[in-house]
């Protein structure tokens, strides 16, 4: 698999590239420091997965995501960002992003995200997953009470809900949880 990592902090970008090159699933890992450079690399190398920061110097990573969605809709995309806000997550999802990892996460989260996104799945790191749960727990039910909508779910249903936020297919969830159709 070919990966392009876009981040304008050279030492951070190069360090991640060096680590990712050690992963067995990575055939090649390239880097770019700007959206302009990323566009050139995408045109030249056609990566399978684009991982971009959202806060880049000249043009934002969000602009790169919009462009990538229009020009290369088959390319899978993920964000590696310091922005851990639900409105940012929503905006990236609207741009077709399949993975979202905050920079406060560990390296294993990034690797898990890239693997999942490359397989056609979706991924949210633990930081954002917690925020999604907190958001839905605070939302009132449809009849206007302040009851926790998620509290009505069984433990197994919560487990499936969590996996739905991370995995794109029901088949993947069924396989992971050892569930068979009746």
Say what the pLDDT of residue 51 is: 97
Contact predicate 97/78, CB 8 Å: yes
Does position 147 have pLDDT exceeding 60, yes or no?
A: no
pLDDT of residue 21: 96
**Mean pLDDT of the region 123-141:** 80
CB atoms within 10 A of CB 10: 10
**pTM of whole model > 0.85?**
no
Residue 60, pLDDT > 60, answer yes
The whole-angstrom distance between residue 86's C-alpha and the CA centroid of its chain comes to 13
Given a contact cutoff of 8 angstroms between Cβ atoms, the answer to whether 104 and 81 are in contact is no
Sheet with 76-81, strands from edge to edge, namely 28-32, 2-6, 49-52, 76-81, 99-102, 123-124
CA atoms of 62 and 91, how far apart (whole Å): 8
Token pair in block for residue 82 = 């310091």
d(CA 89, CA 165): 12
Domain spans of the chain? 2-125, 139-182
Q: Hey, what are 148's tokens?
A: 């926790």
Q: What is the pLDDT of residue 132?
A: 85
pLDDT over threshold 60, residue 105: yes
CATH 3.40.50.2300 fits 2-125, yes or no: yes
């Amino acid at each position: 698999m070919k990966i392009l990592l876009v981040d304008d902090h050279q030492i951070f970008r190069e360090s991640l590239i060096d680590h990712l090159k050690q992963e067995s699933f990575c055939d090649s890992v390239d880097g770019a420091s700007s959206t302009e450079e990323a566009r050139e690399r995408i045109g030249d190398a056609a990566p399978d997965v684009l991982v971009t920061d959202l806060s880049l110097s000249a043009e934002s990573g969000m602009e790169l995501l919009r462009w990538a969605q229009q020009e290369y809709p088959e390319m899978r995309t993920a964000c590696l960002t310091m922005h851990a806000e639900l409105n940012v997550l929503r905006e990236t999802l609207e741009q077709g992003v399949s993975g979202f990892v905050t920079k406060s996460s560990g390296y294993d989260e990034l690797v898990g995200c890239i693997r999942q996104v490359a397989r056609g799945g979706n991924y949210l790191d633990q930081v954002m997953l917690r925020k999604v749960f907190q958001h839905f727990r605070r939302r009132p039910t449809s009849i206007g009470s302040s009851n926790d909508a998620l509290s009505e779910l069984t433990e197994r249903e919560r487990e499936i809900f969590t996996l739905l936020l991370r995995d794109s297919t029901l088949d993947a969830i069924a396989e992971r949880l050892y569930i068979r159709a009746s």
